[in-house]
Amino acid sequence: MISRWITLCALCALLPLLLAMRPVDEKLLMAARDGNLNQIKTLLDEGANVQAANEQGTTALHAAAWNGHRDVVTLLLRKAAPVNHATSDGATPLYIAAQNGHSAVAALLLNNGAAVDQATNIGVTPLFIAAQNGHQEIVALLLQHKADANHIAEDGVTPLFIAAQKGNHGVIELLLRQGAAVNLALPDGSTPLFVAAQHGHIATVSLLVDKGAAVNQAMTDGATPLLVAAQNGHLAVATLLLEQGALVTQAVHNGVTPLHVAAQNGHQGIVELLLKQGAAINQKARNHATPLLLAVQNNHRDVAGLLLAQNALVNQPAPDGATPLHIAVAAGHRDMAALLLKKRADVNAQTADGKTPLHVGAYQGNREIVTLLLKHGGNKRAKTLSGELPIDLARQQSHRALLSLLKP
């Protein structure tokens, strides 16, 4: 959505083919863009049309508003420039002034009849773009002129949502003071609090919670502000949410909890925080992944060590029978495998098709890992359900350097 708003910049409309305009009107638009007041006066005396627009719908008033030329805007308005004329994207001069932070121009336009809530083709008003860009003075001005603080764009975004996403604290305060709905959600269920937590804006999160934001309000897929804070490593945000009553075990619809995503992404501080708050250390997602398995899979050794120190089940298998040790060996994570073995991982655990970690290591051809497994009692004679020994898999993959090690 934001990228679409950016494309509404009138800059794109200031460099168009000007075939639909008379030469004198083209010159007027360019002079307005450059703020050349004397040239504008001359062109108007020569018959330039103040209402003329190029193929993108840009008028001289748009061009002057884009660059904040207040004296030019004053003159054009005095000459009956169309204050609410929109470009082909739906941007008005007020929208453009709000976008670029030109508060004096915005005030002038509003005092001359600019429609405060006139939206672009995708439903974005001047208040949206000012909130997005952090132009606090313009936000205050627009709200004084009764801009709708709860206007909803095409995709459900509100000014408060976009300000929360950007962490524009002063703007958020203004919007809330004017009645912006703190828990109004997008179609996917995301709220201003959710997006602030996602981006780690701790001051914004604190303000929204103080104003009644629901800390456990979930998206349609079940994701909560705590989950996205944990996923993105925002420790201060996660701490605040938990202090405000966020549920540590609340899972998304696929069974993934904040602890799962923190472990998966290697956020050790958040893993520690969640465990202290009572997170279920061995909880399985619907795909049977545990926090430990995810930490192992992504080679987050410190997180795996923390989970194991808190009694995570070292041999808890996935549906196919693969244990964390199988996963570490398959990924070539030698130090992770060593950690798991130190914590009494079953070196000869078998998957559903009978493979041991040694079978997996032999297939991968990792001599260091094969040596490690053998040192910890890996069974060279273990057979898969189809009768294959580890040496058979090494031979199939032409790992000749392993054959002497794996010979039964």
pLDDT digits (tens, 9 = 90+) for 27-63: 999 999 999 999 999 999 999 999 999 999 999 999 9
* Phi/psi-derived region of residue 216, left when phi > 0, alpha when psi is between -120 and 50, beta in every other case: alpha
Q: Is the domain covering 1-128 a CATH 1.25.40.20 domain?
A: yes
Q: Rounded distance, CA 397 to CA 366, Å?
A: 12
Question: Tell me, what's the pLDDT at 21?
Answer: 78
Query: Comparing C-alpha atoms, which of 75, 76, 138, 69 is closest to residue 110?
Result: 138
Residue tagged 């349609």 (tokens): 220
**In angstroms, how far is CA 13 from the centroid of its own chain?**
29
Enumerate the domain spans of the chain.
1-128, 214-313, 319-408
Fold type of domain 319-408: 1.25.40
Question: Strand pairing partners for 59?
Answer: 53
**Residue of 341, 342, 401 whose CA lies nearest to 366:** 401
What is 18-64 written as a DSSP string? Answer: -TTS-HHHHHHHHHHHHT-HHHHHHHHHTT--TT-B-TT--BHHHHH
The two tokens of residue 2 are: 């934001």
- At 400, list the tokens: 């000749």
Long-range pairs, 253-258, Cβ under 8 A, ≥24 = 253/221, 253/222, 254/222, 254/285, 254/286, 254/287, 255/283, 255/284, 255/285, 255/286, 255/287, 256/227, 256/285, 257/227, 257/283, 257/285, 257/291, 258/224, 258/226, 258/227, 258/229, 258/230, 258/231
pLDDT at residue 9 in the model: 46
* Cα→Cα distances 172→25, 137, 169, 205, Å: 41, 12, 5, 11
C-alpha to C-alpha distance for 240 and 246, rounded to whole angstroms: 9
| pTM assigned to the model | 0.89
DSSP structure class, residue 12: G
Q: Does domain 214-313 have CATH number 2.40.280.10?
A: no
Read out DSSP for 105-173? HHHHHHHTT--TT---TTS--HHHHHHHTT-HHHHHHHHHTT--TT---TTS--HHHHHHHHT-HHHHH
DSSP 318: P
Beta carbons of 170 and 155 less than 8 angstroms apart = no
* pLDDT value, residue 20: 56
Instruction: For residue 233, give the nearest of 203, 190, 272, 186 by alpha carbon.
Output: 272
What CA dihedral angle connects 395, 399, 405 and 408, to 10 degrees?
-10
Exposed/middle/buried for 73, CB within 10 Å: 0-12, 13-18, 19+?
A: buried
DSSP conformation class of 189: -
- The pair of three-digit structure tokens given for residue 22, joined into one six-digit string: 């008379």
Distance CA 73, CA 93 (A): 10
Q: Which of 364, 366, 319, 328 is nearest to 347 (CA)?
A: 328
Tell which residue, 338, 330, 405, 403, has the closest CA to residue 376: 338
- Tokens standing for 133? 């860009």
Fold: same for 1-128 and 319-408: yes
Q: Which of 252, 225, 254 is nearest to 237 (CA)?
A: 225
Q: Which amino acid is at 87?
A: T
Structure tokens at 23: 């030469």
Q: Which residues of the chain fall short of a pLDDT of 50?
A: 1-3, 5-19
Distance CA 173, CA 167 (A): 11
